[in-house]
Chains A and B, each alone.
Chain A
Amino acid sequence: MLTFNLLVVVCLLYVALLFGVAFAAEKRAEQGRLGWLRSPLVYTLSLSIYCTAWTFYGAVGYAARSGLEFVTIYLGPTLVMVGWWWVVRRLVRIGRSQRITSIADLISSRYGKSSLLGVIVTLMAVVASTPYIALQLQSVTLSFAVFASDLPEGRAVPDLNSTALWVAAGLALFTILFGTRNLDANERHHGVVTAIALEAVVKLFALLAVGIFVVWGVAAGPSDILSRIEVSPIADWQLNGGRWATLIFLSAAAFLCLPRMFQVLVVENSDERHVATASWAFPFYLLLMSLFVVPIAVVGLSELPAGANPDLFVLTVPLLFDREGLAMLSFLGGFSSATSMVIVAAIALSTMVSNHIVMPIWLSARSGGASMSGDVRNLVLQSRRASIAAVLGLGYFYYRFSGGGAALAAIGLISFTGVAQILPALLGGIFWRGAARAGAVLGLITGFVVWGYTMFLPSFGESFVMSAAMLAEGPWGIGWLRPQALFGVEGLDPLVHAVFWSMSLNVIVFVLGSLASFPGPLERLQSAQFVNVYDHSASARGWSGGAAEAEDLLVMAQRIIGAEEAQSLFQAEAKAQDKYGYLPDTTPDFIRRLERELAGSVGAATAHAMMGQIVGGASVSVQDLMAVADETAQMLEYSSQLEAKSSELTRTARQLREANEKLTELSVQKDAFLSQISHELRTPMTSIRAFSEILMESGDISQEELTRYSSIIHDEAIRLTRLLDDLLDLSVLENGQVSLNLQKSNLHDVLNRAIAATSSMPAERTLAIKRDAAGENVPLITDSDRLRQVFINLIANARKYCDAESPELRIEVRRQSRGVHVDFIDNGSGIPMKSQNLIFEKFSRLTDQAAAGGAGLGLAICREIMTKLGGQVAYLPGQGGAAFRVTLPLTQSRAEAAE
């Protein structure tokens, strides 16, 4: 027979087991052997704190009262987890990149590290969680009462209220012991998480055991249960569309916004891939938890007497069939559900209270206090412990004042609606860049006030805060302010009514406030970081310069994160900066990192305020803002720079290729030149050698032959000399080593002398030269010897090559603005088009060698001379014969004249 004492002993043993597990997990984590402590399974099971005692006991009661409606409480979270790619993944990424410590920290950090928002969300969370904690105390107390009520010796449970008090005290002790071991709220509470994972297994096992007993022990299997459902009162249940949709929405919102859910979902997450596993494993857990709810309710309704509390069917059905072991297991399951929820909720709330209420007050109370010595850690830890006690105390008082009579489900929904008010600010903050602090503050307050007025205050009953008259007729008889029929909307279910008005007014005010206000730089920086969390992998600088002393920062950091950790952090940074010791340069980057480190302990707003006290100055500059917000633009700029560089490289490569081609061409030309020279030298040499051999070997040669042979040798030698002279001349000209002998002269005189020189040359035909004496009278400052050389060459060419019957050469002189044109035009057949480019090249001869009698260097030399004289010589096509134009500068430039 189960006795109350046995129950207490089992409870204590179970709690001792939890202590042991938590303690062992902490030890294991301390030794760094995390292993399965960080497995997706533990993460999924820790999410099961969503299933509180409300689920364990209340779901069956809910089903007994409202049929299938109970399942909505699990469908909402199922949709959220199945849709993890939208919201949960984003929240987890933000939580990790910003070292978020709680949902209040997330909201405060997103809206410019606002202390005000931290306070508002914390207060809302505490107020909204209070009914929930009271609910847990109530269910544990009720379950004790079940066992106590039919004790044969009539030894009643001491007192329900004192039972609740004892339970609250015990939970506070456990939470303080394992929830406030380390200050860094961002660090995982391995002990607590492992303990609640164990509790998750216990409660699931217990509920499944009861369910299996009901289906196969009491009823005759699933088909029997289905037929029993059809005849039970549950079958009469009518689906209320408004409530159905509202409850699914509400449970989804609460799943994201409940402080304890945020704690396990985001803060305690150590690996994003765990979310992927939980996306199906957690809905599966919920499915298993609700699988046997309807069967238990149906069997309870049919087997137990009419007055039995349906919230306790999970306990009373096994007891009815004298399954005491099963009842004990079921009791432990309910106990687990209640304790795990209270523990995590207390940790989450105490973190929020200490970071967003106690620390800001302490900071402002002691101006300049951040750089003073003394351990802040102690203060933070003490405030957390006090907060845990206070949160549980509040829950206890709510339990006392609400009379402990309302159905479990109704109490839970009050909490859900309260925390759901955070949803607009939360989703707006992570998806909408334009969501602004003013909108968030006003929306939160509006939603919270409406919730308090339409739902929270009426929940205390008709006499405590609101009178029955006020509920029925509105305050001071103003009908449209009736708490449960706002603005004349009547006939709605009170829950639907409260959710509808609080959420819609909240969203409207939030959006309008955001649209109308203009956020500051820090807030815009944070909004970019949150909304574009996948793009901005590196966090932005939050501080620009400032005159922080590294020593002050170290003093402060030591007080918050502990001496050892602070020193190792500073030392590592100093080492990274190539400095020795513990004091690195206070670069903006380092200050930002330090702030984030501190934010992991005391929250973003407090850490920011403390850094602000020491660093001073503007925390964020417009330049920083632009740099972060326009990271994409920077990427674009960078890529365009790359593009420019690559096109420059292409250009250089092309130039190199061209230069290479030119060099190859030059090399070919050089080879051709060498072979030409050899050829030119070899021909006269051959004949010289041949005739000199004849002279040497044949003794009897006539005088006539001797003369002829030696004159040939002489001619060839002259030709060689001339060739060598020409080559020498050309090379001197090409190398620029020539020295010009500039003097005053007249074009007419130069032409005269040139013609005189050529007329002495032997020629087959006479060349008639037509001149224009008047036009030739042009004064020049030039090297007249060189110029004459050019003229001689041109006249000699005409004499040699002009193939007209009676050769004739016109020399025309024309003054132009930029120089003097001297044209040499003969009446021959001219030079074919394709050869016009070649004639100025070395060794170019159009006719055969004999006719030319030269090496083909003449025009090449002319061109070089003219270039040196500052003019040019070119072939002039279209004149009826071969025509060359010599262009002379009108007056030599002074620079060249001085040369």
Chain B
Amino acid sequence: MRPGRPLFVARTGYRRRRVMDAARVLPILGAFLFFLPLLWAGDSKTGMGVIYLFAVWAGLILAAFGLSRFLRHDLDGPDPPRDEDAG
């Protein structure tokens, strides 16, 4: 905890921070799911593998889409005109 940051925040602020947490967790979840085929035992399951991987992939894309809607507000806008960044 850095000094100066409030210990508790209001409901909207709390929600926004959890969305950021979700954005941080999402790639970890994705990596977990993508590495899962390593544990598949036995014969080749290419056909099933194709369906599984693409389904996980699409799920990640949808989740990222949902999160990006919320997170856009926390980002810097377009480039300021030159010189304005001085300061």
Contact = CB atoms under 8 A, between A and B. Distances in A.
Contact of B47 (A230, A238, A569): A230
B75 A68 contact: no
Nearest to B35: A245
Contacts of A85: 20, 23-24, 71
A273 B2 CA distance: 26
B26 A632 contact: no
B3 A82 contact: no
A362 interface: no
| A80, A272, A572: most-surrounded residue (chain B CB, <10 A) | A272
A306 interface: no
A82 B60 contact: yes
B14 interface: no
Contacts of B72: 273, 276
B53 to A, nearest CB: 6
Nearest to A240: B38
A293 to B, nearest CB: 10
A96 interface: yes
A75 B27 CA distance: 11
A284 B38 contact: no
A273 B46 contact: no
Contacts of A237: 44, 46
B68 A277 contact: yes
A698 to B, nearest CB: 92
A238 to B, nearest CB: 6
A504 interface: no
Interface in B46-81: 46-47, 49-50, 53-54, 57-58, 60-65, 67-68, 71-72, 75-79
A81 interface: yes
A280 B40 contact: no
Contacts, number: 127
Chain A contact-residue range equals 35 or more
A275 interface: yes
Contacts of A244: 35, 37-38
Contact of A636 (B4, B20, B63, B83): B4
A270 B78 contact: yes
A226 B54 CA distance: 14
A273 B4 CA distance: 27
Interface string A272-310: 110111011001100100010010000000000000000
A229 B2 contact: no
Given A83-B24, A538-B87, A68 B53 contact: yes
Interface of A, secondary structure class, is helix
Contacts of A275: 75
B27 A79 contact: yes
Interface in A547-604: 569, 572, 589, 593
A715 interface: no
Contact of B24 (A86, A96, A241, A632): A86
Nearest to A639: B4
Contacts of B50: 68, 226, 229, 294
Contact of A75 (B34, B76, B83): B34
Interface string B25-37: 0111011001101
Given A235-B47, A632-B4, A287 B79 contact: no
B1 interface: no
Interface string A749-793: 000000000000000000000000000000000000000000000
Contacts of A294: 46, 50
Interface residues of B, number: 44
Nearest to B69: A276
Contact of A271 (B44, B46, B78): B78
Interface in A614-667: 632, 635-636, 639
A273 B75 contact: yes
Contacts of B85: 97
A244 B76 CA distance: 37
A601 to B, nearest CB: 12
Contacts of B10: none
B53 A280 contact: no
A79 B20 contact: no
A593 B71 contact: no
B75 A229 contact: no
Contact of B64 (A272, A280, A589): A280
A204 interface: no
B47 A291 contact: no
B86 interface: yes
A96 B80 CA distance: 11
A287 B58 contact: yes
A83 B8 CA distance: 26
B64 A235 contact: no
B2 A632 contact: yes
A759 B8 CA distance: 83
A376 to B, nearest CB: 20
Nearest to A286: B57
A349 interface: no
A67 B67 CA distance: 33
| A67, A68, A229: most-surrounded residue (chain B CB, <10 A) | A68
Contacts of B46: 67-68, 229-230, 234-235, 237, 294
A294 B30 CA distance: 22
A287 B61 contact: yes
B75 A79 contact: no
A245 B49 CA distance: 16
A82 B64 contact: yes
| B3, B37, B46: most-surrounded residue (chain A CB, <10 A) | B46
Contact of A245 (B3, B20, B38, B62): B38
A78 interface: yes
Contacts of A538: 87
A248 to B, nearest CB: 6
Contacts of B54: 287, 291
A283 B83 contact: no
A896 interface: no
Given A67-B46, A238-B44, A279-B68, A79 B34 contact: yes
Given A38-B78, A272-B76, A276-B75, 19 more contacts: A67-B44, A71-B53, A75-B34, A78-B60, A85-B23, A85-B24, A236-B44, A237-B44, A241-B38, A244-B35, A245-B35, A270-B78, A270-B79, A275-B75, A280-B65, A280-B68, A287-B57, A632-B3, A635-B4
26 contacts: A68-B46, A75-B34, A75-B53, A81-B64, A82-B26, A82-B30, A83-B24, A83-B28, A96-B79, A226-B47, A230-B46, A230-B47, A235-B47, A238-B44, A239-B38, A239-B49, A244-B38, A245-B38, A270-B78, A276-B75, A279-B68, A280-B65, A283-B61, A287-B58, A538-B87, A632-B4
Question: When A and B form their complex, which 7 residue pairs have the shortest distance between CB atoms, in order from nearest?
Answer: A83-B27, A280-B64, A85-B23, A280-B65, A272-B75, A276-B68, A271-B78
